[in-house]
Structure 1
Amino acid sequence: MDNQMSFIEKQFPVSKVSKESYKERKANNGQTLTGLGKWWGRKPLILVRAAILGCLMPCSDNPKADMDIFLKILSMDNDGLIDRKQKSLSAKELYEIAQGNKHFRQFLNEWFEVDGAKVKIRNGQDKNDIEMRLFKTLGYDDKLKYCVRPEQLETLRKDSWNAINHHLGTSAKSLNELVEQLSMQRYGRLITVGDCFSGGGSIPFEAARIGAKAYGSDLNPIAGLLTWANIHILGSNDDEVIEMKSFQEKIFNSVNAEMSKLGIEHNENGDRALSYLYCVEAKCPECGIKVPLAPSWLIGKGTKTVAILSKNGNRYDISIKMAASSKEMQIASEGTITSKGLVCPNCSMTTPISILRGDRVDQNSNTVSGLRQWEKSDFDFLEDDIYNERLYAIKYETKDGQRYYRAPNERDLANELNVKQIVSENIVSWQEQGLVPSMAIESGYNTDQVIRERGWTHWNHLFNARQLLIGKTLLSAVEKEKNTKNKVVGLLGINKCVDWNSKLCIWNAGIGNEKLQNTFTTQALNTLFNYGCRSSAAIDTTWFYAINQNQTYKNSLVEITDARDVNTISDFWITDPPYADAVNYHELSEYFLAWDKRLLQEIFPQWYTDSKRILAVKGDNHFSHTMIDIYSNLTNHMPDDGMQVVMFTHSDPAVWAQLALIMWKSGLRVTAAWNIATETESGGLKDGNYVKGTVLLVLRKQTGDDMAFLDEINADIRAEVRRQIASMLELENKEEPNFTDPDFVLAAYAASLKVLTSYKTIEDLDLDYELNLAINNPAQSSIVKIIEAAKKIAYDCVIPLEFESYLWKDLSNAEKFYIKGLESEKHGNYQISTYQEFARGFNIGGYGQMMASEKANTARLKTPVEMAGRTISEVPDFENSLLRTVFMGIYTGIKEDENPSRALGYIKNELPNYWDKRDMIKQLLSFIKDTKDIDNMTPHWEQSATMADLLHSLVTNDSI
């Protein structure tokens, strides 16, 4: 084994790790860590596992065998997928698979009985045997639908361990043993995996779970809490988990009993409230009437519940109606607040929000809100404030479980007054004791919104009286606990409850979904004109959460500290740093910190309870220098043969150049890069031109003092790009491709950075000056130009599988652009960003004339019929190309009675050197005719592809 190079530096199962990451993300609340609490942007655990094992596993001189073994370790090989298969396939699904597979169609009558739409397995046939034979024929994506995630498979089969141990020289029977043995082989000790931006804790948790020693640190105490909990709460034994669940039950029951005793959640019939709906009110400046504000008055689409406004003097009464008519539902869907402002139901005038709030512009041209700034102990609007708030609906549950909505009556309003009285009398002492928030809201990108839009100046202002009372009662009960783990379980429960019970919680009126959403449905603090509030009886769904038990390496360390001050040595640093346009974690986490201060101090006396905003990595002018300080520190705290993996989500060459220069100046050199698709729709990303991948940049320490001149290394970069892509193509699986075009482009970026960063200095390059250029004027940066050039080389190397390489070289850039675009469509990719990338890679401008559509997810090229005889003037290289002549031939043949002879006649007439070009014409026609057999292409390509097929036969059989 060559211990100098790790598996991840040579190859990586990009496609399979992407698919597994996507499956994990789609599990939403079924993910292992998300149940413990909110964090913005955890990386998939399978991605972390693959990265750590990829760094640990050495390369042999047999790359194919290395890949097979790596997939076995991750249970991503065929045997692993069979062992992970948990869901059964129905007889109908099996029938459809057999019907679609030419090798199994012969068994349809033998295996299945079909009666109309009903399908069943014939008597005497073994369903399990049929199912396994057919399951093995499925593609990776289809197999995954029936499989548990790799982390949910308890152990690999004996045959897999035999193969792994034989290849790696180990004797492991579990992943933990394998990690330990590979660690000893390589370092003579168990490896430490570190992450100084631990956030939601994916990296330290996964490291500890697979048996490595984990080090996790973060500047933020909430991140520290989650990371500690991942390792110690989820890593608890059976008895501890039973005790923690019993503790959750005890606290919930005690809070529930206390609220019941106060009598503030029951009505005159003894029914218990579950949800309260509140709305903001404001006077219409035009007519002076007080208007309740909501974007919609729909309360429940399933129960057909609506709020109905009726004028009563200078204000509106609000009645609640269940089983409303479709007309009433339609009326209720129109609210009194729109994006344009308050829409008065009395005078029909619209008042912009800024006018309503009385906003003005100060002498520095800053907008100043006209709202009253709330005092520290406030929890409600005052009578003469611009905004007021009112309770307009309550969802009740009867003793026998029936649920209904009603408008608040006198008893409900008396309960409401009682709650406000309790909070009013106690809030100052509660704040002094740390039982409800008292922290001021610091000005910031996200936090300015609540100050500007409501006048809220302290974190307690984001919670109404009921929410403050429930939060305080929970905190008081948890505080009495002595057991550290129980206390942490309680603190995480409080955080979940306050996320799901604040004035920023949207009421969802959807069918089967009439309930509150959480505060952080987005990465922002969005104020609402109407919101939902839970009663103490309804916090059960957030207070009780899954403790997904996992064995973890407990001798792991979690700290809260500035990444520049980390002083723990890690063999592998795996980091997902905040980037230039990152989420403002430091601001958003203060929402939780305002509640957690007291308990955090008691549980972790050595920790601070401040978000340390001033030290947070921000996307400002200091960003690159902060990052250099951090990564220089990590480089100093790793052994000479240690490794780093930096995860980031950008595909802009200028950003790559910045990152490369940061790493270079930190004493690191790039050895590889891989692009993993990790984002799902639920991650807040839409399809289209959005970054959906996470780049893994693999780095080692710079150990040499080599120096070079810029013009000397250009040849080295070209050679390295070609070598890198050739090695990836060699490993490519034609049936289940592992790499896409963006992967090859990223490999080219990495190859160029690998050459650049292998030198200590480049004689005619000032790194500080280059970094400044890459940030402020990328077009002038030598490094950006080098990376752009590498991309062009990559596109020259990535030849469609159906194309002869000697013919590909003779195509113009415009023809290559079209063919690569068509290849992408064959694979079902209709994203405009793909064409934009190809246009940059092949240096094509004005390609719009070649496109049938340029919309985000329906982008596609024109077919020969759609191009017809129009001139493609903006792309002369295409207009004058052989491909365009072939297209005109196809179009001519179709137009003239579907006659392929007319098509061939046109081409021969246009090309005096037809015989010299015959091989290329056959190649182009062959590439086009295949489109008729691809489902997603048939609708628009069938006519052109059929003519191309006929024309291909004529050209093939044409003789002099």
Structure 2
Amino acid sequence: MALVPFEWKNKPALIEHLFPVQKISAETFKERMASHGQLLVSLGAYWKGRKPLILNKACILGSLLPATENPLKDLEIFELLMGIDGESMQRRIQANIPVSKKDTVGNFLVLPYAERVRNAKRPEEIGDSLFIHVWSRVNDHLGTSATSFPELIEQIGVARFGRRPKVADVFSGAGQIPFEAARLGCDVYASDLNPIACMLTWGGFNIVGASKEKRIEIDKDQNNIAQQVQKEIDALDIETDGNGWRAKVFLYCVEIICPESGWKVPLIPSFIVSNSYRVIAELVPVPTEKRYDVNIRYIDNNEELEEAQLGTVQNGDVVHSPDGVTQYRINIKTIRGDYKEGKGNRNRLRLWEKSDFIPQTNDIFQERLYCVQWLKKKTNGSKYDYEFRSVTQEDLVREKKVIDYVGEHLEEWQKKGYVPDMLIEAGDKTDEPIRTRGWTHWHHLFNPRQLLFLYLTNKYTKAEEKYNLFQCMNHLSKLTRWRPQAGGGGGSAGTFDNQALNTLYNYPVRATASIENILANVHSSYELDPTVTTTVNSHPADEVNVENDIYITDPPYGDAVKYEEITEFFIAWLRKNPPAEFAHWNWDSRRSLAIKGEDEGFRRGMVLAYRKMAQKMPDNGIQILMFTHQSGAIWADMANIIWASGLQVTAAWYVVTETDSALRQGANIKGTIILILRKRHQELETFRDDLGWEIEEAVKEQVESLMGLDKKVRVQSFEGLYTDADLQMAGYAAALKVLTAYSRIDGKEMVTEAEAPRQKGRKSFVDELIEFAVQTAVQFLVPVGFEKAEWQKLQAIERFYLKMVDMEHQGAKTLDNYQNFGKAFKVHHFDQLISDTSKSNSARLKLSTEFKGTLMSGDAEFARTPLRALLYALFELSKEVEVDDVLLHLMENCSNYLPNKTLLSKMADYLAEKREGLKSTKTFRSDVEASCARVLAEAIRNQRL
């Protein structure tokens, strides 16, 4: 029997009851590690803040599927639809290993889930064929008749909302959430304040999601544009040497006059041009003109390559020696003329004018071409020969031709909107090019050759090709780094290789032969269901004016990249002349309207946005709010925002979404909190004194429910669903669910309290309630082997250490777990207990042999605690101190030894159990720790006093 409209109207969503976070985390990590292999990255790799598609799919399905009285069956169906069940995993592994090793699939299937995922293809890489086996079981459980995701989504959407579900994201960013919703078969509304974000979202629907016929047309157009641009460049004769060689890369550097010697000095941080080709640049003094020629030379020994690592820029100083004897060293700040004026920093740099595109002759920083890499197709195939050469007089003639041509046409190009004439507005990131170079307009960030190429490309491209224009811009600015160590003799990193606008002393300019592959880049493809409707608008989040059933949002938060500033780099190029498809958007970053940071403006903007979303969804609508759990302040802010918006928390989950990256400086790995929200329909009132037992009951019920499900899953599989970190998050959610259900607490209107501005150094009423709720949740998570009264008797840092011992036993290794539990247990210096805080994916507690005699006394949190005394006793046992002496020292180090004797033996038993079976290494002898703990536990119990 088919589902009828609104049959599930009031049924709870699956994501409010269960969510296999460990598997979703592993899948999410797998997708993030795919880097440029991710489906939408080809549209704009410069946008870094993407929530993985697999996570978005899990959230959308979890919001639509019902939670029934059979949670094991619910989980089975969810895993089938996610492609994370056993049979799907087998197919994914088979698709990823060579045919010759197909008989080894069974070996992979017994590995932990995270290991299986590493050896498997991602579900999206296989496509719809992965799900052929799921539909009969899905339909039997749900009462549907689907054979595809769009059919399933339509049917369960009707059952819940009376129509195909409408999913909205009003902070769409790169469009990951809207695209996944459309791919599943939902109607979609997407918006963002930033037109570049809207453009990326539109591209997901209309390029990656285009029909096969449309994609053929787009790809053909892109190739034609590349050919047309090359034709016009060739007509100018500025990239060939007349002997069959074509330029690949031009290398430029800044040049200054040394104020001490009067010499012109090229600023080249490293003289290595190419590691693999063994090419270096060397300065050749020209004393009569007080300048240097730059000679490009191939070398044949490692010593010279090593010597060439240091150039003329060393630790912020310009260093040069015209005669090889006298060395001049002067700081760049001195050359720039830096000085203080009031609270601001100033310098003597001339501010460039709109008509400028090269330095004027009296500018402090000049620019010069110092090397060219050439390529020539070999006669016997498609491969190329490459050469690095010094700059010749002919090269300088061609260089002048480019400068003259751009100078003649720049004003015209700017009037027509093909080249920017937009001012750089001061800001946290945009101050950098103004301060360090005097560049005041966005076109100043581009070399004349780059301006010419980008003008031609912008002139010829339609909406669908602007994405490749922007990718070219990312690789064609004076902010791109030359990488001598890259393949092919060297390569360039994109402008947004980091999320800043840092100026450089030397930079590459890719010639047409080196950039046309990006201009003609073929994007990923996943044809969307043509019946799905997609709408993209550019407006503030609080101006959404259409009703949607599900809102899934990943809003900006405290540590967010400042896209409202750095995307002006792109906005400037389309501001005057956007394609018709994008013309109705406001081509301005509208920085003042952007929700950002952690201040009162951030909170007010978020409240307005989420209150409007609550108003623009049906009574049974659902919201999923994602945010990175970096600081306790933002967690409290989110609770305030939810309360003030008329919403209520119904569940929360924690998923690891970030990979190790140089951008995050190692230890800053983060996960994502996923909050499930509903409208708060009733005006309920309570008192804080009554909240304690209610929160404790809710936490207990939630945690026991998940632990019960976890045990059932472990019976069927050798892995469970949840770790203590997941249970902790579920406890938070249960506590917040209780809190946010109330409109008045202790006679206070919670919306008013939540909207009240924060007072520096003072906790608000809401902060106190959140802290109380969190502590109640944490206290409930008592490890097996301890009584609740015993557990609460321990110091916070002892509870933290013991809890993390259990986490390590479960296989948790990421530093964010330690950070999260440290905050939850109110441990101020948990890092003192960690062996190495620089490794975000392999953090661990110190063993007793690493503590040795440290943190025994003084003001340290761990000092003079029973657990610290116990760990010292273990250290002594590992050094083969007699057991009787160890017990004597334990009694001396542990105050109130007798009352703590039973607890000490329990802790020793606990450490023995949790350290047993862990992989030991030279620096992590968990086997020794476990053995000593067993001996000590027995000795304490048998001790006669």
2:372 to 394, 409, 429: 394
1:288-367 equivalence runs, <5 A:
288-313=262-287, 314-346=290-322, 347-362=326-341, 364-367=342-345
Following TM superposition, by how much is the alpha carbon of 1:45 offset from its aligned partner in structure 2, in angstroms? 0.8
In 1, the alpha carbon distance for the partners of 2:180 and 2:157 equals 16
Closer, same or farther: CA 894–366 of 1 in aligned 2, 3 Å: closer
2:438 to 446, 455, 474: 455
Aligned to 1:505: 480
Aligned to 2:917: 933
- Asked if the contact 1:900–1:947 (Cα under 8 Å) also holds between the matched residues in 2, the reply is no
- Asked if the contact 1:86–1:146 (Cα under 8 Å) also holds between the matched residues in 2, the reply is no
Most deviating of 933-942 and 578-587 = 933-942
Q: Secondary structure at the match of 1:402?
A: strand
Q: Secondary structure at the match of 1:233?
A: helix
Following TM superposition, by how much is the alpha carbon of 1:611 offset from its aligned partner in structure 2, in angstroms? 2.2
Most deviating of 627-636 and 941-950 = 941-950
Aligned to 2:510: 534
Number of residue-to-residue matches in the alignment: 914
In 2, the alpha carbon distance for the partners of 1:867 and 1:8 equals 42
Are residues 1:602 and 2:580 paired?
A: yes
Closer, same or farther: CA 806–541 of 1 in aligned 2, 3 Å: farther
Are residues 1:145 and 2:121 paired?
A: no
In 2, the alpha carbon distance for the partners of 1:444 and 1:2 equals 48
One-letter identity of the residue aligned with 1:233: I
Following TM superposition, by how much is the alpha carbon of 1:751 offset from its aligned partner in structure 2, in angstroms? 2.6
Most deviating of 184-193 and 799-808 = 799-808
Aligned to 2:105: 132
Q: Note the alpha carbon deviations across 1:674-731, whole angstroms, 9 max, x for none.
A: 111111124822332x251111111111111112233332332233233333333333
In 2, the alpha carbon distance for the partners of 1:411 and 1:820 equals 71
The percent identity for this pair of structures is 36
Aligned to 1:519: 495
Question: Scaled by the length of structure 1, what TM-score is found?
Answer: 0.88
1:226-237 equivalence runs, <5 A:
226-237=200-211
In 1, the alpha carbon distance for the partners of 2:822 and 2:203 equals 48
In 2, the alpha carbon distance for the partners of 1:605 and 1:269 equals 46
Following TM superposition, by how much is the alpha carbon of 1:907 offset from its aligned partner in structure 2, in angstroms? 7.6
In 1, the alpha carbon distance for the partners of 2:782 and 2:929 equals 23
In 1, the alpha carbon distance for the partners of 2:634 and 2:897 equals 47
Q: Secondary structure at the match of 1:18?
A: helix
- Asked if the contact 1:8–1:51 (Cα under 8 Å) also holds between the matched residues in 2, the reply is yes
- Asked if the contact 2:908–2:936 (Cα under 8 Å) also holds between the matched residues in 1, the reply is no
Are residues 1:669 and 2:634 paired?
A: no
One-letter identity of the residue aligned with 2:663: G
One-letter identity of the residue aligned with 2:601: H
In 2, the alpha carbon distance for the partners of 1:737 and 1:803 equals 22
Aligned to 2:146: 172
Aligned to 1:781: 764
- Asked if the contact 1:657–1:774 (Cα under 8 Å) also holds between the matched residues in 2, the reply is no
- Asked if the contact 2:550–2:623 (Cα under 8 Å) also holds between the matched residues in 1, the reply is yes
Aligned to 2:930: 945
One-letter identity of the residue aligned with 1:8: I
In 2, the alpha carbon distance for the partners of 1:612 and 1:649 equals 24
User: RMSD in angstroms over aligned alpha carbons?
Assistant: 3.2
Following TM superposition, by how much is the alpha carbon of 1:201 offset from its aligned partner in structure 2, in angstroms? 0.6
Q: Note the alpha carbon deviations across 1:774-816, whole angstroms, 9 max, x for none.
A: 7443642232223233333333333445767787566554543
Q: Note the alpha carbon deviations across 1:873-908, whole angstroms, 9 max, x for none.
A: 2479976666556545545545457x6687689889
In 1, the alpha carbon distance for the partners of 2:752 and 2:321 equals 61
Q: Secondary structure at the match of 1:780?
A: coil
Following TM superposition, by how much is the alpha carbon of 1:81 offset from its aligned partner in structure 2, in angstroms? 0.8
- Asked if the contact 1:813–1:842 (Cα under 8 Å) also holds between the matched residues in 2, the reply is yes
Q: Note the alpha carbon deviations across 1:741-799, whole angstroms, 9 max, x for none.
A: 44344333333322222122334435577447774436422322232333333333334
- Asked if the contact 1:601–1:608 (Cα under 8 Å) also holds between the matched residues in 2, the reply is no
Following TM superposition, by how much is the alpha carbon of 1:462 offset from its aligned partner in structure 2, in angstroms? 0.8
- Asked if the contact 1:278–1:532 (Cα under 8 Å) also holds between the matched residues in 2, the reply is yes
Q: Secondary structure at the match of 1:25?
A: helix
Following TM superposition, by how much is the alpha carbon of 1:60 offset from its aligned partner in structure 2, in angstroms? 0.4
In 2, the alpha carbon distance for the partners of 1:377 and 1:165 equals 66
In 1, the alpha carbon distance for the partners of 2:467 and 2:302 equals 43
Unmatched runs of 5 consecutive residues or more in structure 1: 92-120, 122-126, 479-486
In 2, the alpha carbon distance for the partners of 1:809 and 1:280 equals 64
Aligned to 2:695: 717
Are residues 1:69 and 2:47 paired?
A: no
Q: Secondary structure at the match of 2:575?
A: helix
In 1, the alpha carbon distance for the partners of 2:786 and 2:40 equals 46
- Asked if the contact 2:337–2:349 (Cα under 8 Å) also holds between the matched residues in 1, the reply is yes
In 2, the alpha carbon distance for the partners of 1:928 and 1:602 equals 69
One-letter identity of the residue aligned with 2:273: I
Closer, same or farther: CA 141–618 of 1 in aligned 2, 3 Å: closer
Following TM superposition, by how much is the alpha carbon of 1:661 offset from its aligned partner in structure 2, in angstroms? 1.5
In 2, the alpha carbon distance for the partners of 1:424 and 1:498 equals 20
1:619-658 equivalence runs, <5 A:
619=597, 620-658=599-637
Closer, same or farther: CA 915–415 of 1 in aligned 2, 3 Å: closer
Following TM superposition, by how much is the alpha carbon of 1:184 offset from its aligned partner in structure 2, in angstroms? 1.0
In 2, the alpha carbon distance for the partners of 1:870 and 1:426 equals 71
Aligned to 1:8: 15
1:686-765 equivalence runs, <5 A:
686-688=665-667, 690=668, 692-732=670-710, 735-765=718-748
- Asked if the contact 2:279–2:298 (Cα under 8 Å) also holds between the matched residues in 1, the reply is yes
Q: Note the alpha carbon deviations across 1:356-392, whole angstroms, 9 max, x for none.
A: 1123333x43222321111212110011110100000
In 2, the alpha carbon distance for the partners of 1:463 and 1:658 equals 41
In 1, the alpha carbon distance for the partners of 2:120 and 2:762 equals 48
Most deviating of 314-323 and 712-721 = 712-721
In 2, the alpha carbon distance for the partners of 1:846 and 1:374 equals 49
Aligned to 1:473: 456
2:213 to 223, 239, 247: 239
Following TM superposition, by how much is the alpha carbon of 1:922 offset from its aligned partner in structure 2, in angstroms? 5.9
Following TM superposition, by how much is the alpha carbon of 1:436 offset from its aligned partner in structure 2, in angstroms? 1.4
Aligned to 1:428: 411
Closer, same or farther: CA 267–697 of 1 in aligned 2, 3 Å: same
2:521 to 545, 555, 558: 545
Closer, same or farther: CA 81–216 of 1 in aligned 2, 3 Å: same
Closer, same or farther: CA 452–726 of 1 in aligned 2, 3 Å: same
- Asked if the contact 2:908–2:933 (Cα under 8 Å) also holds between the matched residues in 1, the reply is no
Question: Scaled by the length of structure 2, what TM-score is found?
Answer: 0.90
One-letter identity of the residue aligned with 2:933: A
Following TM superposition, by how much is the alpha carbon of 1:260 offset from its aligned partner in structure 2, in angstroms? 1.6
Closer, same or farther: CA 559–269 of 1 in aligned 2, 3 Å: same
Are residues 1:195 and 2:161 paired?
A: no
1:78-157 equivalence runs, <5 A:
78-87=86-95, 128=102, 130-152=103-125, 153-157=127-131
- Asked if the contact 1:864–1:944 (Cα under 8 Å) also holds between the matched residues in 2, the reply is yes
One-letter identity of the residue aligned with 1:946: S
Following TM superposition, by how much is the alpha carbon of 1:539 offset from its aligned partner in structure 2, in angstroms? 1.0
1:614 to 575, 592, 600: 592
In 2, the alpha carbon distance for the partners of 1:293 and 1:541 equals 30
